[in-house]
Amino acid sequence: MKSPTGARFLGRTAIVTGGGSGIGAALTRALVAAGTEVWCADIDLAAAERVVESIARPDKASAVRLDVCDADAVRDLVEAVVAARGRIDFMFNNAGIVIGGRTQLLALEQWNRIIDINLRGVVHGVHAAYPHMIAARGGHIVNTASAAGLMASGLLTSYSATKFAVVGLSNALRSEAAQYGVGVTVVCPSAVETPLLETGKVGDFRGRDFFLGAENSTRAYSPERLAEEVLAAVARGDGVLVVPRRTRIGWFVSRIAPRFIERRLIDFVRRQTSSSSVT
Ligand SMILES: NC(=O)c1ccc[n+]([C@@H]2O[C@H](COP(=O)([O-])OP(=O)(O)OC[C@H]3O[C@@H](n4cnc5c(N)ncnc54)[C@H](O)[C@@H]3O)[C@@H](O)[C@H]2O)c1
């Protein structure tokens, strides 16, 4: 059977940030399987090493410790890949965290942290890789945002804010980068089965139950399936990838009937918070 990505990833180079877990780990594996050499970069080096060791062709992936908040470190990694292989073909700005809970309970440090990782981390990746792609007249930047970057949700205020910014950055850059032959894809999934669903809980936030309830679902999406869809979207040159299908429908409805979706969200958030004494 013909691969949906053809030879698009064969003999290429990629950096995947947040490659040590969840979606980044699945992207690393899918890229190596498609013939790309991957620098699997994570603030948790041991996690990145485990991902690389689990790959059938570990010689095609390198684990590196990287904090995406550190602009110099991101630039140094991109420069090292370009120095070693002559080019950086794909920059997957995927590292991210979530913080869920009532906005009044968030400390300013939490706001700053999520902005640093989810937004500045992406900015650092773009700032470091994009000039090399322009010079090479080719390359592709893939930013992992979220469905929360297309449809804002209460109890995810800081997360939604960063993800809307990543969608805006990606869409703006796409129209500018096209003249250099550089592609930009922004990935907007709803709940994906990764450790993130149960992290970043503030106060009475319900984590996984919240994310699944928000989309009326009982199952989160598979990271492996998402990674395959991301590669296929990049190969097609799609600008925005929204999965699963019901999220695409929800996004469409939110644009033609925003008040309807907003009323549903107000009810949902009220139900999520009504059984708790926290205010
Ligand atoms: N899981 C979901 O439901 C879901 C849905 C939509 C979007 N996303 C987005 O997908 C991306 C990946 O999330 P995931 O679900 O795979 O989560 P995850 O927690 O499984 O993996 C995130 C990885 O990022 C790494 N990381 C965190 N801070 C970092 C930093 N400062 N520098 C480098 N690496 C860092 C972590 O160590 C971890 O390995 C995130 O941007 C997230 O917002 C996730």
- For ligand 1, atom 21, the nearest C-alpha belongs to 21
Predicted local distance difference test score (pLDDT) of residue 43: 98
* pLDDT of the residue at 197: 96
In the chain, % of residues over pLDDT 70: 97
CATH level 2 (architecture), domain 13-274: 3-Layer(aba) Sandwich (3.40)
**Could you write out the DSSP letters of every residue in 129-188?**
HHHHHHHHT-EEEEEE--GGGTS--TT-HHHHHHHHHHHHHHHHHHHHHGGGTEEEEEEE
pLDDT over 90 for what percent of the chain?
93
Model pLDDT for residues 212-253, shown as the tens digit of each residue: 999 889 999 999 999 999 999 999 999 999 999 999 999 999
**Given this model, what pLDDT does residue 2 score?**
58
Which ligand 1 atom sits closest to the C-alpha of 19? 39
Query: Ligand 1 centre from 44 Cα, in Å?
Result: 11
pLDDT, position 113: 98
Decide if 180 is catalytic. Answer: no
Q: pLDDT at residue 114 above 60? A: yes
Q: So what's the pLDDT on residue 35? A: 96
Q: What is the mean pLDDT of residues 194-216?
A: 94
In the chain, domain spans: 13-274
pLDDT tens figures, 62-91: 999 999 999 999 999 999 999 999 999 999
Say what the pLDDT of residue 215 is.
87
Tokens of 204: 């009475």
Please give the distance, rounded to the nearest whole angstrom, from the Cα atom of residue 159 to the centre of ligand 1. Answer: 12
Please tell me the distance between residue 66's alpha carbon and the centre of ligand 1 in angstroms. 13
Structure tokens at 40: 């699997």
Give the span between the Cα atoms of 224 and 30, in whole angstroms: 8
Indicate whether 180 pLDDT > 80. Answer: yes
23 lines ligand 1 (CB under 6 A): yes
Q: Is the peptide bond before 223 cis (omega within 30 degrees of 0)?
A: no
What separation in Å is there between the alpha carbon of 23 and the centre of ligand 1? 7
pLDDT confidence of residue 276: 61
Which residue is closest in CA terms to ligand 1's atom 1? Answer: 192
Query: What is the number of the ligand 1 atom nearest to the C-alpha of 189?
Result: 6
Determine the pLDDT at residue 277.
Answer: 55
How much is the pLDDT for 165? 98
Atom 7 (ligand 1): residue with closest C-alpha? Answer: 146
Distance separating alpha carbons of residues 187 and 145, to the nearest angstrom = 5
Q: What 3-state class would DSSP assign to 240?
A: strand
Least confident of 12-21, 40-49, 256-265: 256-265
66/198 Cα distance (integer angstroms): 23
Pair of tokens at residue 43: 């603030």
